[in-house]
Chains A and B, each alone.
Chain A
């Protein structure tokens, strides 16, 4: 009887261990699912912002090629802001707190599914690629776009727009919707090299901003969607 009791004790402990691991996996899966779901929404917002930026850059390229720069319209000023001045609205920073926890604490082993482990690895790579890519965007913006801003942007227009304590993005959205027109004058008109600016903006839009969206962010979305589906199927999450 004593041996049987001890043996049953071991069996029970083994089962308990299994239960605890299963519970932990479910808890982690739920948190990871939430993180991924939030980021899939954020990625969509960032893609919309990038599309807006690309359209603004396209407008500017065309404008710089063949239109008058002495009296520019409100539309030109808005496209200058969305295409050239803004950087943050298109930057995507995925949340990685659960992913890092899974990786660093060894909790990934609770998930017995091999596909899940492969997809988590793919997600890590996709996020690294996005960060790397956004670093390149920052460098390009710094090297090619900032000199255009410094030479030609109208900071009097900027000052008039930022009347209250709202962020620049809110202010520009309000301005876009309003009927108000704040004069915008390009500085150093005599130093404008139309062809060079059009080429820089084309390069920035096509080779930099658009590629990140179409390749790197898209890859992230694809892996994110697969992981969400897998977690839904395995852990019956909604």
Chain B
């Protein structure tokens, strides 16, 4: 009887260990699911902002090719803001708290599904690629777009736009929907290099921003959706 009692004790411990692991897996799955769901909403907003920025850049490339820079319109000023000046609205920083925990604490082993583990690895790479890519964008901005802003942007217009200490994106959105027209003077016209500016905007807008959205963001969106679906299926989440 004594041996049987000890043996049963071990069986119970073995089962308890399994139950604890399974509970932990479920808890982690739920947190990870929430993290992914929030980011799936964020990334859609960022994609929309990027499309707006790319369109603004395309407008400017066309404008610089054949239009007058002495009297520029409100549309030009807005596209200058959305295409060249703004950066933050198009930056996507995925949350990685639970993902990092899964990687660093050894908790990934609680997820028994091979597919889930592969997708988590892929997601990690996709996030790394997005971060790399956004660093590249920042470098290009710093070296090629900032000189354009310094040389040609109208900071009187900027001050008039942000008169009530409103955040720049809110100020631009309010100005876009209003009937007000603030004068925008394209500075240092005599130093303007048309072809170099068009190609700089081409490099930034079409080669870099557009590719980040269509290749790297899209990869993240696909993986995020696949992971959400798999977590829903495996852990009955809603």
- On A, residues with C-beta under 8 Å from B are 1-2, 5-6, 8-9, 12-13, 16, 20, 24, 27-28, 30-31, 34-35, 38, 85, 88, 91, 93-98, 100-101, 104-107, 138, 142, 146, 149-151, 153, 155, 158-159, 162, 165-169, 187-188
Contact = CB atoms under 8 A, between A and B. Distances in A.
Contacts of A187: 195, 199
Contacts of A188: 195
Interface of B: 2-3, 6-7, 9-10, 13-14, 17, 58, 61, 102-109, 112, 114, 117-118, 120-122, 124-125, 128-129, 132-133, 136, 139-140, 143-144, 195-196, 198-200, 202-203, 206-207, 210-211, 214-216, 218
Nearest to A150: B199
A5 B7 CA distance: 10
A146 B104 contact: no
A167 B114 contact: no
22 contacts: A1-B2, A2-B2, A12-B7, A27-B109, A27-B112, A31-B109, A35-B118, A88-B215, A95-B121, A95-B125, A97-B103, A100-B103, A100-B104, A101-B102, A101-B106, A105-B104, A138-B136, A150-B144, A167-B218, A168-B207, A169-B215, A187-B195
A162 B140 contact: no
Contacts of B207: 85, 149, 158, 168
Given A35-B117, A150-B196, A151-B199, 12 more contacts: A1-B2, A16-B13, A30-B114, A31-B109, A35-B121, A95-B121, A104-B106, A149-B203, A149-B207, A158-B207, A167-B214, A168-B210
**Majority secondary structure, A binding face:** helix
Contact of B117 (A31, A107, A149, A151): A31
B108 A5 contact: no
Given A146-B203, A159-B206, A31 B114 contact: yes
Nearest to A9: B6
Contacts of A159: 58, 206
B215 A167 contact: yes
A196 B214 CA distance: 33
Given A5-B3, A155-B198, A95 B215 contact: no
B121 A13 contact: no
